[in-house]
Chain A
Amino acid sequence: MTSQTRTAGGADPEQPAASPDPPAGDDHAGNDHAGHDHTGHDHAGAARRRWGGIGSVEILAAILILLVIFKNQVSALLSVQSLATWTTVFVSVMVQAMPFLVFGVALSAVIAVYVPRAFWARALPRHPALAVPVASVAGVILPGCECGSVPIGASLIRRGVTPAAALAFLLAAPAINPIVLTATVVAFPNNPEMAVGRGIAGLVVAMIMGWLWTRLGRQEWIRLPYRPDLEGVSKARAFWTAVRHDIVHAGGFLVIGAMAAATINVVIPERWLLTLADNPVLSVIALAVLAVLLSMCSEADAFVAASLSQFSLTSRLVFLTVGPMVDLKLISMQSGVFGRRFAARFAPTTFVVAVLVAVAVAAFAF
């Protein structure tokens, strides 16, 4: 949880003015020291170098044996009701996300291994400013929630797609795909303009962010994690290598995000929130922040928005627009997959753009 706050705070101690870092394609540069601490594992040193006879497998075995021995002590923690609820919410966020993560990872491995680089050059307009809207609209075809789109976005960048287009796709896919829009229609049977507004706002935010990136974005902010070279091995082996790498990497950051979301879920009492519902400005800010903190999957958030009936439709459209694009588990995954310098800029900017666009769309539509 601490790492999110630090990242979101925007402080970036490792931002030298004249960085000699290589561009994103070279994933090796060692500027990631700051990224270590938040994994917070005592055994992390094992990953760095091979110890005498003790490797990760031995440590893993030891952990598992200890867990089985102390199973009853661990279970006893659940007699505390808030801890039990935390554990239930954490496990359910993970269970809910796993199919989407695995699907996204498999698709990104297909992109990495089986789709030739030349395909993207043909499929997308050469000019980044034109590629952005095409990629945003392409987000319609990916029925998934946000956890799957992060590895896919990274895979597109690795395959030479211009980052602006890949980022627009990453933002658009979870926000405007058919499942999400259908869920919104079902959740708001009396307000069909909600689904329309959501689709428009999502598309507009994705395009604005893509264009902003072409103007202001810097390649060196993106630092994809080192992934073993997929060239020169059999296709099948390359595929499974990519799958393993992405599951372990994106999945690990998903766990961190899920823990943060479960904490918020248990800690924030609903009654605090409702005191803000009457003020038009505060209610927009409150639901925008809530969307970030709750980190709900984009297929579910419409139902939650429908039940927040004390809030204005405008603030609820903000909730639905921000949620799929910025939330704790996304920030965690983005900082893991694209690097912290990227996430520290991209997430707050997306947040502001999403709030402004949603309010504008609401003013026009409602």
Chain B
Amino acid sequence: MNRRAQAVTMLLLGGALLRATFADLHLRYVKEALGPFLIAAGAVLVAAGAMTLWYDLFGSKADAAADLPECADDGHSGEDGHGQRVHKEPRVGWMLLLPVLGLLLVSPPALGAYAAGQAGSALSTQQQSDFPALPPGDPIALNVSDYAARAVFDKGVSLQGRTVELTGFLAANPEGGQYLARMVLSCCAADGRPIKVGLAGDAPTGQADDRWVKITGVYNDRIGADPVNKSQIPYLQVTAWAPTEQPRNPYE
């Protein structure tokens, strides 16, 4: 890969990062807080590509002489006994087209029901033991992970007498029916882990996995076990549900 091709690749990669961030596509892959750093990284990549092109097209002859040997197959390397200059460096640069392809053309979806089924529910036993009273609201919108932690570690005490509203996607429950699930990220989708909540009562029916729903319900003291990692899975007594759009940030 010669310098101009490298420049174009860096322009594409930087442009892909900038586009993904401004279109909120990055929320499918990383934490929202990384956004400004992605924009900075994209800008540096675009600048590096532009400067490389600039020097390549308009750089002074004297400067070019020092910068030349990289792509040319010249006799520059006297110490190479094989008589042939070999660089693996430029070749590996072609690999950078893969993330460009992934971001610009494919834009894979956020992790969903398949990934949730592969991994065990990720309720950490490191959760704090004190759960403050829920703020007012009827129903009160809660994170799926917040509901699960209060239901399992607080034995539902702070949920008594409250109607809660959870938003997540449906994922197959191997014991029958479907879970309400939401993926939790700490850094990027590679460490995404599901939080699963079992559904009792008037649970959604006839909905495909990965369907996003908004569920209203009350605490149910039933506790299931995740077949993957034996983690506790709390239940929700569903009173109403409605299909909804995937939220802007699909993760918690």
Partner-B contacts on A (CB < 8 A): 20, 22, 26, 28-30, 32-33, 35-36, 39, 41, 43-44, 46-50, 55-57, 59-60, 63, 67-68, 71, 74-75, 78, 81-82, 84-85, 87-96, 98-99, 101-103, 106, 183, 187-191, 225-226, 228-234, 236-237, 240-241, 243-245, 247-249, 251-253, 255-256, 258-259, 261-262, 265-266, 269-271, 274, 294-297, 299-304, 306-307, 309-310, 336
Contacts and interface: CB of A to CB of B under 8 A. Distances in A.
B91 A39 contact: yes
A88 B116 CA distance: 14
Interface of B: 1-10, 13, 17, 20, 26, 28-30, 34, 37-38, 40-42, 44-45, 47-49, 51-52, 55, 59, 62-63, 66-73, 76-77, 79-82, 84-99, 101-103, 105-106, 108-111, 114-115, 118-120, 122-126, 128, 186-191, 193, 227-230
A300 B82 contact: no
B95 A244 contact: no
Contacts of B115: 85, 88
Contacts of B72: 50
A302 B38 CA distance: 23
A78 to B, nearest CB: 6
Given A228-B66, A237-B55, A300-B188, A29 B80 contact: yes
Contacts of A269: 118, 228
A95 B87 contact: no
B161 to A, nearest CB: 28
Contacts of B47: 240
Contact of B1 (A56, A234, A270): A56
A269 B115 CA distance: 10
Nearest to B113: A81
A28 B80 contact: yes
A190 B5 contact: no
Contact of B8 (A57, A74, A266, A294): A57
A248 B105 contact: no
Nearest to A82: B114
Interface centre among A88, A183, A259 (most CB of B within 10 A): A88
Contact of B190 (A71, A89, A231): A89
A227 B41 CA distance: 22
Contacts of B188: 92-93, 95-96, 297, 300
A47 B88 CA distance: 9
Given A28-B80, A48-B73, 6 more contacts: A28-B79, A60-B8, A87-B106, A90-B102, A244-B3, A258-B99
A44 B187 CA distance: 34
B93 A248 contact: yes
B51 A240 contact: yes
A250 B161 CA distance: 56
A92 B29 contact: yes
Contacts of A252: 91-96
Interface of A (DSSP majority class)? helix
Contact of A39 (B44, B88, B106, B108): B88
Contacts of A228: 66-70
A248 B10 contact: yes
Nearest to B128: A189
Given A244-B3, A244-B52, A189 B126 contact: yes
B34 A303 contact: no
B111 to A, nearest CB: 6
Contact of B59 (A35, A56, A237): A237
Return the 5 tightest CB-CB contacts between A and B, nearest first: A300-B187, A252-B92, A92-B29, A56-B5, A303-B186
Nearest to B36: A99
B72 to A, nearest CB: 7
A44 B92 CA distance: 9
B84 A30 contact: yes
Interface centre among B45, B51, B89, B126 (most CB of A within 10 A): B89
24 contacts: A22-B79, A30-B85, A41-B91, A47-B87, A47-B90, A84-B108, A85-B114, A87-B108, A91-B102, A92-B188, A93-B189, A95-B26, A99-B40, A99-B41, A225-B89, A229-B66, A233-B67, A237-B55, A237-B67, A252-B91, A252-B92, A256-B92, A302-B186, A309-B125
Given A60-B5, A307-B124, A99 B29 contact: no
B210 to A, nearest CB: 9
Contacts of B80: 28-30
B106 A78 contact: yes
A241 B100 CA distance: 22
Contacts of B69: 226, 228
Given A60-B9, A310-B229, A106 B44 contact: yes
A59 B1 CA distance: 9
A294 B94 CA distance: 24
Contacts of B118: 85, 266, 269-270
